[in-house]
Amino acid sequence: DTSIKELRRVAHNMMPEALSKFGLKAALNDFCSSIGNAKRFDLNYNYYGSDKRLNSKLEISFYRIAQELINNALKHANASELMIHVVQEDNRIHLTVQDNGAGFDVNTLSTSKGAGIAGIKSRVEALNGRFELISVPGKGTEASVEFLF
């Protein structure tokens, strides 16, 4: 019974059913609902604009990037507030993940500590997107990702 639950959890993390069946908006809604239920912080999540399906490569990459940015905030920021906004228009999609946590000096991000950020940069560059990371120690972090299509 425990093994089956673990297998389902791993399979869901590999490719959430909501993403493959219903698209990015539904998958992000599910993901944010699941983390919002933890009640460790105030979560402000919004998805504005179109929920038209994107090509699968972009959809999967965008979801994974959002997941990594959100998990980084949960794991490292020690924040009381987390804001996640997605804006999807006819020719672009934009993600902002912002927290009021510990923040850090982005110039001192080491390769070992910044493996998640390096992975995000790599995914964004592979799809000709734009990634911006702003953080100030003691003031929180804001990450934004944008893809044109």
Please report the DSSP string for 110-133 in residue order. Answer: -TTTTHHHHHHHHHHHHTT-EEEE
Report the length, in residues, of the chain.
Answer: 149
**Whole-number percent of the chain with pLDDT over 90:** 75
Query: Is the model more confident about 46 or about 109?
Result: 46
Torsion sign over Cα 10, 11, 12, 13: positive
Given 3-state DSSP classes, what are the helix, strand and coil percentages for the chain, each rounded to the nearest 5? 45, 25, 25
Instruction: Report how far residue 53's alpha carbon sits from residue 24's, in angstroms, rounded to the nearest whole number.
Output: 7
* Other Cβ atoms closer than 10 A to 148: 12
Query: What per-residue confidence (pLDDT) applies to 45?
Result: 97
Give me the domains of the chain, ranges plus CATH numbers.
2-148 (3.30.565.10)
Residue 116 pLDDT > 60, yes or no?
A: yes
pLDDT band at 7 (very low <50, low <70, confident <90, very high): low
- From residue 49, alpha-carbon distances to 14, 46, 86, 89 in Å are 26, 10, 8, 6
Structure tokens at 35: 């983390």
The pLDDT-based confidence of 69 (bands split at 50, 70, 90) is very high
